[in-house]
Amino acid sequence: MAQATAFSKSASSKTRKGALPPSSSKIGFGDSLSRLLAALNGTEYFLASWPGVFLVERVGRRKLMLFSSIGQAITMAILTGVNSVDTLPFQIASIVFLFVFNIVFAFGWLGMTWLYSAEITPLHTRAPANALATSCNWICNFLVVMITPVAFENIKEYTYTIFAVINAIMIPSVYFFFPESSRRSLEEMDLIFSKVKGVRGGLDVVKVARETPHQYGRNGELLIAASEGEKVETAHVESDEKAV
């Protein structure tokens, strides 16, 4: 859970906030136009978050996180390239891709960490776990905000490379370690995590979540009663033991 929060803040949306004013100034925009671009950037960021609100249940958490991570990694890699060429078209492209980053980040990661963190933790650890996630959020925010200006001053456009690598690491992490929690009750998630143990369990949890039948449908209708679900799981385990 803390990993999800750290990924969200290290992605990083704070980088584009610090990079936009210098980029617009390099093109020759005045202070007023640079500030207007920054305001538009924030407005677009807000609007870009709305598709995720409607898709998070229909598409699922994993697909949105994977889509955002891939898009963010590609965008940061492109920003490294376009900022290495000091010509007007490339500088304009730099600003455009800062806006593109907003879209892909807000689409999947902006609110996902707060939702996902609460869904995958059991009741007895939910309060301290969410406290840990919140602490991780602000620590990562602080680190990114403090480090980014220094990085731009010293390694310039290669600052984006750092975040491109971080975003690339997020892709296999989500794919292998983040089980889908869409249409799952908190009790179902507890059941899924109770089936996996140790280090190996961390690699199996996504597969277990995929194989565990849903208790509720897309509209919240009950598909399997709790007792029936337990019978299905017991039968599944027994068949696996016989196969072994």
Residue 177: predicted pLDDT: 92
Predicted confidence band at 239 (pLDDT cuts at 50, 70, 90)?
Answer: very low
Please give the residue that has the higher pLDDT: either 202 or 51.
51
- 117-134: average pLDDT: 85
Q: Can you give the pLDDT at residue 173?
A: 93
pLDDT of residue 12: 58
Residue 119 vs residue 13, higher pLDDT: 119
Q: Kindly report the average pLDDT of the chain as a whole number.
A: 82
Q: Which residue has the higher pLDDT, 10 or 180?
A: 180
Q: For residues 193 and 122, is the Cβ–Cβ distance under 8 A?
A: yes
The residue ranking higher by pLDDT, 173 or 14, is 173
Mean pLDDT computed over 50-78: 94
Mean pLDDT for the stretch of residues 90-107: 91
Radius of gyration of the chain (CA): 21
For residue 161, pLDDT over 80 is answered with yes
pLDDT of residue 234: 46
Task: Place 14 in a pLDDT band, splitting at 50, 70 and 90.
Answer: low
| Residue type at 1 in one-letter notation | M
Residues of the chain with CATH 1.20.1250.20: 2-177
Q: Region 67-74: what's the mean pLDDT?
A: 95
Does 9 have pLDDT greater than 70? Answer: no
For residues 65-69, average pLDDT: 95
CA gap 33, 38 in Å, rounded:
9
**Highest mean predicted confidence (pLDDT) among 16-25, 29-38, 133-142:** 133-142
Provide the pLDDT for residue 6: 61
Q: Is the peptide bond before 12 cis (omega within 30 degrees of 0)?
A: yes
Is the pLDDT reported for residue 30 higher than 50? yes
Provide the pLDDT for residue 26: 64
pLDDT above 70 coverage of the chain, percent: 80
pTM score, whole prediction: 0.83
Q: Per-residue pLDDT for 192 more than 80?
A: yes
148, 69, 169: which is closest to 112 by C-alpha? 69
| Cβ contacts of 155 within 8 Å, gap of 6 or more | none
**CATH, range 2-177:** 1.20.1250.20
Percent of the chain with pLDDT over 90: 37
